[in-house]
Each structure stands twice: as C-alpha cells, then as structure tokens.
Amino acid sequence: MHKRSGDIKDPTPTITSRYSYGMALIRVEDLVKEFRRSERFPGFLGGIRSLFTRQYTVTQAVDGISFEVDQGELVGYLGPNGAGKSTTIKMLTGILVATSGICEVGGITPWRDRERNAKQIGVVFGQRSQLWWDLPLRDSFLLIKRLYDVSDADFRATMKTFTDLLELEEFIDTPVRQLSLGQRMRGDLAAAMLYRPHILYLDEPTIGLDVVAKERIRVFIEELNRAEGTTVILTTHDLDDVERLCRRIMMIDHGKLLWDGDPESLKRRYAPHRELVVRLVDPHEKVAELGLAGVSVGDAAEGATTIAFDPQQVAAADVIAAVLARHRVSDISIVEPELEPIIRQIYADRAVAL
C-alpha cells in the first residue's frame, strides 16, 4: 500500500531533521476532533435559564482515525459532506487544533508550529482563491514569492515551467477578478506550488469546471506527482478525478475511516462482478444461458443484454467465447465497474449499520 514514486528530488532544508526516509511523511494516529456547541434551552423560561447555564452538545467530527502517507503518494480522500473530511484536512494543515491523538506532518505537529508547517505545504481550496482579487495574476505570484522567500532564480525557473504546463501566458497580466473559473484555478495551483512544497492539499480543485479545464488540472497534478514527487492529498466529490489520478483512496464517514487502499482492491471487494454488454445482430434474439458458473444473464433492454460474471470464477475471455459460440454478435463490450455506485453503496451500508 505504501508506494514510492520513482524520481524523488532532495527534500528542501525546511523539513525538520526529525523526518527522514523510512518514516512516513504524514502520520496520523487516533486523531480525534470534537466540537462543542452550546444550545439554548427551548421556550421562554428556557431562554432565561440560558442566560445562566447552557447545554452543550458534543459532536465527534473526527472520531479516532489513523493512517500514514509516504512521500510521493497521490491519495484521494473521499466522504460525504459532514463526514469529517475537511476537519481532517484542517488539522493536517494546522487550521484546527486536534482534541486528542497524534498528527505529524514532516515531523511537525501542524497547529503547534504553523509557520514552519506552512512552508512545506501548498493548499488549494476550490471555493476560495488565495490570489489577490484586484491585481494581475502576476502580482499574486510575486507576492507569494516574497511571503515564502523564494529566490529569484528558483522563481524564474518555476514560473517558466508552470507557465508552459498550465498555459498561463494568455492571462497572467489579467486581474484575477476577471478570470474564468478554470483560469483562476490554474493560477491558484501555480501559486500553491510556487515555493515547491512537499505536500499539496487540494480541496475540490475541479469543481465547477468544464471537461477541458478539468483535464488540464488533472494533467498538472499528475505531472507534479510524477516529476517532482509531490505528495498530493486530494479531497473531491468528482470520482473521475479519483479514477484518473489516485492510486490510493481513503474513505471517511461519520468521523471514521471506512476504507484505506487502492481503487482496484476497492472495486474487487465491493463490486466483484464485471459486466459484459452484448448486442446481437438479430435484435429479437435473446441471449441464452451460458451454462458457466458465476455467470448470470440479464434481461435485454433497448437491444442490449447485460451479462454479469464473477472474474474470480470465470475469465472474461471465456464468457465472450461462450457468447460468440452461440450467437451472431454485432457488438460486445466489457464494462468496468464504476466507483460511484460502489462508494454510494458503502455510505449506504454505513448509514444502515449505524
């Protein structure tokens, strides 16, 4: 599960000496975050009572999760809204102080050492830009350069790389408030990586973007991870992002970690069946039972029949051969199981279990 990317650059001197190869870059153990909210007593008399004492409700936004992330991983962090995703990320970035548990990023506890932690991470919030709204994009980059003490040489090199990769030239002198969402997102990504942090936290980076824009962003993220060895933690609702980029998925709901592993294992575990969609030359002909174990033939719908089979029991090739032997086929295709129904199922099961 802990993969290492091939080409890792030397860690910059900002990482504390306590971190070294062999130790996970991000280490979380039994992390808990509780929120206390005061509640007023109901009714009029209750209102008076509320002036003196309050009832408190305690919610466990994060209820004891543990995981480790090595340098160079590209992790997808999934969960429905309110599951504890953003709470976890906020603790990792140092915005929130944990209630209990261990959280170490590059050897630092993020909320205890915010300024040092800030230098090793880049954060992109999909909804809120970190760029200076009224100024040209270029100015934001220069300001970030100043805030993070990036040297002139590094800055020039990085800007050249990113300008090419993200095609920033055409709008780098436009005020940020006039940029389209896709352009602004590219700008935010470049700004987040300008000082070459080791870890990149992305919160809904492709939300609201069109297909072309999404692909651009995904390519950039992939490139960062591949070429620079940047560790990426991606929080998203867009499962295409996950399918495309993530080699590891962590799923959280109601503050607990439900799954931590690679997507293939996830699919194998929860959707062990794969599907074959068959169109016969004669649209009225029905696909016969194939007499193979682990195969069930579905009903025809709009001229296509779906055959579900268990890849553990019978190979796709055998099923195809069996169909071809019995019928004249005009089209046959193998459908990969999709993440979405799987994840939906997991959340649903979880909700029922509670």
Binding region for other proteins (CB under 8 A): 35, 61, 86-87, 90, 93-97, 114-116, 118-119, 121, 123, 125, 128, 130, 132-135, 139, 143, 146-149, 175
| Nearest CB to other proteins, comparing residues 26 and 242 | 26
Strands 100-105 and 26-39: antiparallel
Phi then psi for residue 240, to 5 deg, are -65, -40
The least distance separating other proteins from the CB of residue 244, rounded to whole angstroms, comes to 26
| Nearest CB to other proteins, comparing residues 21 and 133 | 133
The least distance separating other proteins from the CB of residue 86, rounded to whole angstroms, comes to 8
The least distance separating other proteins from the CB of residue 323, rounded to whole angstroms, comes to 53
Quote the CA–CA distance of 234 and 245 in Å, as a whole number: 9
The least distance separating other proteins from the CB of residue 96, rounded to whole angstroms, comes to 5
Q: Which of 220, 254, 156 is nearest to 232 (CA)?
A: 220
Quote the CA–CA distance of 45 and 55 in Å, as a whole number: 14
The least distance separating other proteins from the CB of residue 236, rounded to whole angstroms, comes to 18
Q: Which helix (H) or strand (E) holds 75?
A: strand 74-78
| Nearest CB to other proteins, comparing residues 116 and 237 | 116
CA distances from 65 to 26, 27, 28, 251 (A): 13, 11, 7, 11
| Nearest CB to other proteins, comparing residues 123 and 224 | 123
Per the listing, tokens 């808990």 go with 32
Quote the CA–CA distance of 17 and 249 in Å, as a whole number: 29
| Nearest CB to other proteins, comparing residues 113 and 262 | 113
Q: Give the single-character DSSP code of 126.
A: S
The least distance separating other proteins from the CB of residue 139, rounded to whole angstroms, comes to 7
Contact 154, 228 (CB under 8 A): no
| Nearest CB to other proteins, comparing residues 104 and 346 | 104
